[in-house]
Structure 1
Amino acid sequence: MAPLDSTRTINGKFGEIWMDGQWLSNFHTAEATADLQYEKIKRSGKRADGNKVVGIEYSGTISGYKITSDLARAVAQVTDDRKGAFVCELVMKLDDPEAYGYERVRLKGVQFTKIDIMKFEHGSMVEQEWPFVFDGVEWLDAITAE
């Protein structure tokens, strides 16, 4: 195996977040994870139990600077009994000009789990954190060393 080429390590500064085709340029932090749930499986003739995936829980967070109230108002429609939940699609892109390429994933069925209705601190930039759950992921582009 060749030694690590440090210029190919990826800097998150070039990351992007897109919601339903619109670039959320004010957001600077993104995370999406899949928590796997296992059930223990007893195996005859073995001391060690096996494990079987029985569920997946997708969740994530985006955060950035508050620019408008648009996202909060859209997500808050879930609090109106006459309207449904706000569901969207997020595309996250991790890019760096010196990397071997870039990575993009599409998160499907995104629903935010917390709404910052009002939040500020005197003398500080207002930042928002938007945790969410989602129900599917599609890998659009992957980074490979070839």
Structure 2
Amino acid sequence: MAGFDSANVINGHYGSIYHEGSWMTNFNKASAKVDIQKAELKLSGDRWVRHKVLSLKGTGSISGYKVTSELIQFNAPVANNRNKSVRTELIYKLDDPEALGMERIRLMNVMFDSINLADWEAGKEVSEEWPFTFEGFELLDPIEE
């Protein structure tokens, strides 16, 4: 493959997650995607099924090692009926020094799907996963060749 440099492949080891501006050092896995929900349009005299975008749905998750109760505390107002909803933002960053550049993506209006109170087993390190939805994103720093 001409022009391909394997050093430019980004290693997830250099990924980081920021919540409320603070690096969440204990989290080591992140995902986010936007599902595009479409309607099929069938026109007479045309074999092609056309599509119209109706809505967008953002989902994702973060996971890593249990170190603090930060996210439980952040989400507690929802569980204690003190607030209708708690929204925040997350920033995902990939910054492999061998790659072509750094990428940062801001996820807006993040709402966690559940509050992880306890999930542990004797003799094993405690990990946790926080699935969420989001409403909008911004590509802060794109990777460009």
Band the TM-score falls in, shorter-chain normalisation:
over 0.9
Q: For residue 81 of structure 1, what is the aligned residue in structure 2?
A: 81
Counterpart of 1:45 in 2: which secondary structure?
coil
Measure, in 1, the Cα distance between the counterparts of 2:125 and 2:49. 51
Distance, in Å, in 2 between the alignment partners of 1:49 and 1:70 is 48
Within a 5 Å distance, the mapping from 1:1-146 to structure 2 comes to 2-145=2-145
RMSD of Structure 2 on Structure 1 (CA): 1.2
Q: Report the identity percentage.
A: 45
In 2, the alpha carbon distance for the partners of 1:61 and 1:98 equals 26
Q: TM-score, normalised by structure 2?
A: 0.95
Which ranges in structure 2 are unaligned for 5 or more consecutive residues?
none
1:31 shift after superposition: 0.5
Query: How big is each residue's C-alpha offset from its partner over 1:7-60, in whole Å with a ceiling of 9 and x where there is no partner?
Result: 111100010100111111111101010001010011232012101111100010
Q: TM-score, normalised by structure 1?
A: 0.94
1:107 is displaced (CA, Å) by 0.5
Paired residue total: 145
- Output the CA distance in 2 between the equivalents of 1:60 and 1:14: 19
Question: Partner of 1:72: helix, strand, or coil?
Answer: helix
The separation in 2 between residues aligned to 1:116 and 1:20, in whole angstroms, is 19
Per-residue deviation, residues 34-88 of structure 1 (Å, max 9, x unmatched)? 0010100112320121011111000100001111112112213211223232211
Output the CA distance in 2 between the equivalents of 1:143 and 1:2. 20
